[in-house]
Amino acid sequence: MVKVSVVIPCYNVEAYLPRCVESVLGQDVPKDWYEVVLVDDGSTDGTIALCDAYAQRYEEARDGNSEQVSVRVLHQRNAGVAAARNAGVAMARGKMVAFLDSDDWWDGQYLKEMIGLAEQYPDAGLYGCKYWYVKYGKAEDRVRNLQFIRETIEEQRQENMSGYLDYFGSYYAGGAMPIWTGAVMMPKGVLEQMGGFPERVRLGEDFLLWAKTAMHYRVAYKAKCLSYYYNDVPPTLRLTKRLHEPKAHMDWHLDALDAECRRYNAGIYEQWSQLRDKLRATGLRAYWLSDRYHEAAVEEVKKIDWSHLPKAYKEWYETPRWQHRLHDLLYGGLSLVKQRIKWITRSKQI
- Domain of 216, CATH number, reads 3.90.550.10
Same domain, 231 and 254: no
Same domain, 78 and 223: yes
Same domain, 231 and 339: no
Q: Is the pLDDT of residue 223 over 90?
A: yes
Instruction: Provide the pLDDT for residue 161.
Output: 85
Domain stop point among 206, 236, 266? 236
Same domain, 96 and 119: yes
Same domain, 329 and 267: no
Same domain, 34 and 177: yes
Instruction: Give the count of domains, the chain.
Output: 3
**129-184 residue pLDDT tens:** 999 999 989 999 999 889 998 666 665 556 678 999 999 999 999 989 999 999 99
Q: Is residue 241 part of a domain?
A: no
Residue numbers of the domain that contains 261: 246-318
Confidence band of 347 (pLDDT split at 50, 70, 90): low
Same domain, 195 and 263: no
Q: Is the pLDDT of residue 234 over 90?
A: no
Same domain, 155 and 44: yes
Residues 165-202: b if buried by 16+ CB within 10 A, e if exposed? bbbbbbbbbeebbbbbbbbbbbbbebbeebebbbbebb
Same domain, 34 and 170: yes
Confidence band of 64 (pLDDT split at 50, 70, 90): low
Per-residue pLDDT averaged across 278-287, rounded?
96
Helix (H) or strand (E) holding 24: helix 17-25
The rounded distance, in Å, linking the Cα atoms of 178 and 171 is 6
Domain stop point among 217, 236, 255? 236
Same domain, 228 and 339: no
**69-102 residue pLDDT tens:** 999 999 999 999 999 999 999 999 999 999 999 9
Q: Which residues make Cβ contacts (< 8 Å) with residue 132, sequence separation at least 6?
A: 139, 140, 141, 225, 227, 228, 229
Helix (H) or strand (E) holding 127: strand 126-135
**What is the Cα 267 distance to its own chain's centre?**
25
Both ends of the chain: CA-CA distance in Å? Answer: 38
What amino acid occupies position 9? P
